[in-house]
Amino acid sequence: QLQLQESGPGLVKPSDTLSLTCTVSGGSISSSTHYWGWIRQPPGEGLEWIGHIYYSGTTYYNPSLKSRVTISVDTSKNQFSLRLSSVAAADTAMYYCARHGVYFPFDYWAQGTLVTVSS
Amino acid sequence: DIQMTQSPSTLSASVGDRVTIPCRASQSISSSLAWYQQKPGKAPNLLIYKASFLESGVPSRFSGSGSGTEFTLTISSLQPDDFATYYCQQFNSYPYTFGQGTKLEIK
């Protein structure tokens, strides 16, 4: 059974960089038929797709965040990571990592990690 | 970006009711639509993909229909476990976008 688990700080200071890692177990991140993505959800609000990465390193980002987002992959560790720079209070959210197939929605999600931006 | 609209934002219903939750896309997305159920403090759970295909393990009382710009999630007979928030999502083109959600409440 595929499982995903986020890790990283739960508190980030304004203007700093948010960094999260998603570890995949029970399956290979080097799958040729899947992408690995990040989605966030501010408290009490809806879902926002941040971006995704393919095992080869190909990425696509939401244009609304593109200037601040970097997603990377480490196939040797079966992990992928999110970096969001210059954070502000509006970046406070539950951050989820998830898997989706080519032209297929998100079928496996991690439990989510709450990141609060505050001094 | 393709805007996904879900209205109403809250729906009240009773156990046993048949419920339909609509979702509209700002432009045609063919059948590239998914439905998720989210309970408080939990990650979304995929229910329906490609507008009408039931994800493995999802009860058959859930069904999806539609294509183009108009879509519907139907729950044939509401169970107590179904009271949650439901989101639609398009995966036809980047950036992937979600509707703002419909919260299903107990009447």
Tell me the percentage of chain A whose pLDDT exceeds 70.
100
B53 near A CB under 8 A: no
Tell me the percentage of chain A whose pLDDT exceeds 90.
97
Which band of pLDDT confidence, cut at 50, 70 and 90, is reported for residue A45? Answer: very high
By CA distance, what is A5's nearest residue in B?
B43
Which band of pLDDT confidence, cut at 50, 70 and 90, is reported for residue A74? Answer: very high
pLDDT one-digit tens code per residue, A9-26: 999 999 999 999 999 999
| B28/B10 Cα distance (integer angstroms) | 25
Contacts of A2 (CB under 8 A, 6+ apart): A24, A25, A26, A27, A99, A108
The pLDDT mean for chain B works out to 97
**pLDDT of residue A7 exceeding 90:** yes
* Whole-number pLDDT of residue A102: 86
pLDDT one-digit tens code per residue, B36-57: 999 999 999 999 999 999 999 9
**pLDDT of residue B107 exceeding 90:** no
Q: Which of residues 82-111 of A touch B (CB under 8 A)?
A: 96, 98, 100, 103-107, 109-111
B64 near A CB under 8 A: no
* Whole-number pLDDT of residue A83: 98
**pLDDT of residue A53 exceeding 90:** yes
Contacts of B40 (CB under 8 A, 6+ apart): none
- In sequence order, the β-bridge partners of residue B5 are B24
| Residue B8: cis peptide before it, omega within 30 degrees of 0 | yes
Amino acid at B66: G
pLDDT one-digit tens code per residue, A88-114: 999 999 999 999 998 899 999 999 999
Measured in angstroms, the CA of A8 and the nearest CA of chain B are apart by 17
